[in-house]
Chains A and B, each alone.
Chain A
Amino acid sequence: MSAVPSFVYTTYIETTADKLWHALTDGDFTERYWFGHRVTSDWQVGSPYKFARQGAGAVEGTVLISDPPKRLAYSWDPCSPDAKRERTSRVTFDLEPRGKIIKLTVTHDNLDEGGKTLRDISGGWPMVIASLKSFLETGHALPADLPSCAAKEKTDA
């Protein structure tokens, strides 16, 4: 077991790799299933990207791998002051066709043991990925919010 914790989450989605790639990288799409978070980037390796909700920055970083529609990776720097003290972590999305289904694996690594980011993303990814899957399969995202996130943002503000 490595000393630095990582978080791995796998799901299977009835969609195509191209549609899933689009859903991960297009701000109009992320805003709908990622509970209002809009992503912007030109998705070139080395380019910046940013997630913002109602104009307020939430997470930002640099594109590390962009191999459509198979693999996307970016560094992960939450914009909250608490998380700023932690090391920059990394998110990798692997998209693998399995018959007519896509296997999506999200790996979030280089996290601080016991840090705020590890706590937040461990609760956040299952919800975001569940909403993404619903969005691609049924046409609508999950009718919910990220309560822990919203509550913490209010506390932070």
Chain B
Amino acid sequence: MRKPEFIYVTYIETTPEKLWEALTNSEFSRRYWWGTEVKSDWKVGSPFALVMNGTTTDVGEVLEVDRPRRLSYTFHHVLSEAARKERPTKVVFNLEPYGKLVKLTLTHEGFEDGSVILDSISKGWPAILSSLKSMLESGTALAIPPSCLGIEGVQ
């Protein structure tokens, strides 16, 4: 059996620098990630957090920063008690120039067997990255109602 992980690939008509900025700048992230701010100084070893409307939902530590090619951080959901008990997972973004496009590969790995957050992130990332692609290409992020994602605990 394969170890549980989530991989998502998309292609965006943008530059690696702009995509990097969108992944690491809270002003951008608020627009495509339902108001979520990505908080970090993006130095290896520095803390990382996702803050949604003033509430910290996820925390971690920056593992790799190779601008504008590779970014990774540990990821620990802290809102729900069940998720808090799980060990931190790892998120990796790979940005590769592809002609006039950028190929973005997200890998989220390190889940415990029966992880409760694997299901949530598997529903969340496609919506977040679809919205990110729209924002970079058309200037407007997607207005996907978060309640429609079928993620437990998300209103």
Q: Are B11 and A12 in contact (CB under 8 A)?
A: no
Give the contact stretch, choosing among B36-44, B52-60, B108-116, B140-148.
B140-148
Is A142 within 8 A of B11, CB to CB? yes
Q: Are B10 and A126 in contact (CB under 8 A)?
A: yes
- B: interface residue count bin: 20 to 34
Interface set, chain B 110-146, CB cutoff 8 A to A: 126-127, 130-131, 133-134, 137-138, 140, 142-145
Q: How many chain A residues touch B (Cβ–Cβ < 8 Å)?
A: 24
Chain A residues with CB under 8 Å of B82's CB are none
Mark out the residues of chain A between 11 and 33 whose CB falls within 8 Å of any chain B CB in the assembled complex: 11-14
Q: Closest Cβ of chain A: how far from B14's Cβ, in Å?
A: 11
The binding surface of chain B is classed by DSSP as mixed
Q: Does B18 have its Cβ within 8 Å of any Cβ on chain A? A: no
Q: Tell me which of A43-51, A82-90, A96-104 binds B.
A: A96-104
Q: Does A137 contact B (CB under 8 A)?
A: yes
Q: Which residues of B contact A (CB under 8 A)?
A: 1-2, 8-13, 98-101, 126-127, 130-131, 133-134, 137-138, 140, 142-145, 148
What is the bound-complex CA distance between A93 and B98, given in angstroms? 27
List the count of A-B residue pairs having beta carbons below 8 Å apart: 64
Instruction: Collect the chain B residues with CB atoms within 8 Å of residue A9's CB.
Output: 126
Segment of A57-65, A67-75, A128-136 engaged in the interface with chain B: A128-136
> A145 CA to B100 CA in the complex, in Å?
11
A11–B142 Cα gap in the complex (Å)? 11
Contact with B99, one of A13, A133, A138, A144 (Cβ below 8 angstroms):
A144
Interface residues in chain A, defined as those with a beta carbon under 8 Å from any beta carbon in chain B: 1, 9-14, 98-101, 103, 126-127, 130-131, 133-134, 137-138, 142-145
Partner pick for B142 among A1, A101, A127, A134, CB 8 A cutoff: A101
Contact present for A14 and B137 (CB under 8 Å): no
Contact A144 B98 (CB under 8 A): yes
In the bound complex, CA of A144 to CA of B138 (Å): 18
Contacts of A103 on B, CB cut-off 8 Å? 148
Quick one: given A137-B137, A143-B99, A144-B99, are A101 and B144 in contact (CB under 8 Å)? yes
